[in-house]
Amino acid sequence: MDIRFQKGPASDWRANTAIVFGFKNEPLLERIPALTDAAPWITITPAHLDFRGDKNQVVVMYGHPDIPLPRCIAVGLGDRSKFTLETLRGAVATAMQKCRELKVETCAIPLETFSDMDAEDTVLVEEAVLSMLLSLYTYDALKTTQEEPAFSPRWAALLSTAEVFPDDIHAAARRGEAAAKGVTAARTLVNGPANIVTPAHLADKARALGRTYGFSVRVLEAPELAAMGMGAFESVFKGAEEQAKMLVLEHALKGTENDAPIVFVGKGVTFDTGGISIKPSASMHEMKSDMAGAAAVLGLFEALGNSDIPRRVVGIAPCTENMPDGRATRPGDVVKTLSGKTVEIINTDAEGRLILCDALTWAQQEYTPAAIIDLATLTGACVVALGTDVAAVFATDDALSRQVTETGERVGDRFWPLPLWDLYFEPLKSEVADMMNVGGREGGAINAALFLKQFIGEGVRWAHLDIAGPAYKSKKSPLSVPGGTGFGVRTMLEIVRNGITGA
């Protein structure tokens, strides 16, 4: 669906359907006088009297089909005192689903409908555009028997009575579009089956991003990774037939090439059987989503390619399958990591931290980062602790933890800080190596974060985001079909936009 802009007298506005929003027990039409100028019939249609403004209530009003704006969809926001950006996202998604149901070809939102909401107009427009696009996302590319693809409007317009469309609103809408492209790109990668979305497939996607947007892209192959001394990463990929790869993407607009980059590292296990410590078969098919961190990093670069942010950004994605094989790592094996530290592998299903530790070491050897942030579907323990709607953030300093948490809250990615206290490293101590890759059952998400912290240099600002819960959902939500959610893309994009703060 295209996003368009219409300006000038309300009588000149054109679309099949107008979309407006209203609060509970407040007059709807008084808030949007331009709409009544554009479609005077609304004031006399009885349907507008049915609008109470309850949260996500939908009222459809009809005029004559041959006049401009012959239909209006009104969606309730609930109590004004309880309004949040999440309220708006849900209301926009509700409106777009009604457009899909009615097969609306073109729709439009008057800017006046945002005028008295408790947020800046630019923020509201960005969130509305993003929500329109995300709520229409489907993953049906592999279906051959459906009668027709899911319907979407051809375009949606923002309507302004100004003679010149406001530049700040135009820019906000484009930000929403860019973010939506990044999130949907990540979703599509996570939703793809593991026989298609292999490490090679992710490498092809990275190269395509480089060609399209001019990013620098490197793909490090398995023999090179092994030769470098990435023994932890190799311990995971040597049991897989699919060749492992590490993707390195760099975004640096002119003038930023020598800046300290923000480095994002995404776990890319394209299918996780658990290896020799094999998982139960129930729900194993969902382990195609164990590359959601890598997908989010690639989604970030899709969004950056559609933005103009003068910031140097590096994305790193170690990608492999974790498979049982005659060459696979055995529980009890000891490997030497790129850092030189040794790890006793107690459980081969704790593989994410093994590929990440070498990738994190390599990132610090290759760059002097402003900060490193990794994203990984790392532990089931995190899901037990926080559920499926919230990710954990572990950070080496409180300012970085706050930036991630507050940014996520603003854009709809919820994070909760957990501690990095050294006492949680005790269960990881080994009799035969520098550390084990797992401890006991207690505090599993924190143990995993402490393991990764052993590979972060002194003074390096680092945050680990365990996104195991919200990265993949089995149930539909207003903004997402079942499957990959694209969680983390927007948080990363906003951190890039604002730069790393604090110290």
Question: What residues form the annotated binding site for Mn(2+)?
Answer: 267, 272, 290, 349, 351
- Residues paired with residue 74 on neighbouring β-strands, in sequence order: 20, 59
Residue type, 225: L
356 within 8 A of 339, measured Cβ to Cβ: no
- Yes or no: say if 375 and 297 are a contact pair by the CB < 8 Å rule: yes
**Positions at the binding site:** 267, 272, 290, 349, 351
* Residues 497, 499: Cα–Cα separation, whole Å: 6
Instruction: Extract the tokens encoding 79.
Output: 């109590």
Q: Kind and range of the H or E element at 376?
A: strand 371-376
CB distance 47 to 62 below 8 Å: yes
∠ CA 349-401-497, rounded to 5°: 105
User: Residue 258, Cβ neighbours under 10 Å: how many?
Assistant: 8
List the helix and strand counts (H, then E) for the chain: 13, 20
Positions annotated as catalytic residues are 279, 353
Contact 275, 235 (CB under 8 A): no
The Cα-based distances of 248 to 52, 244, 359 in angstroms read 52, 13, 10
What are the CA-CA distances from residue 423 to residues 36, 350, 429, 446, 492 (Å)? 65, 20, 11, 10, 30
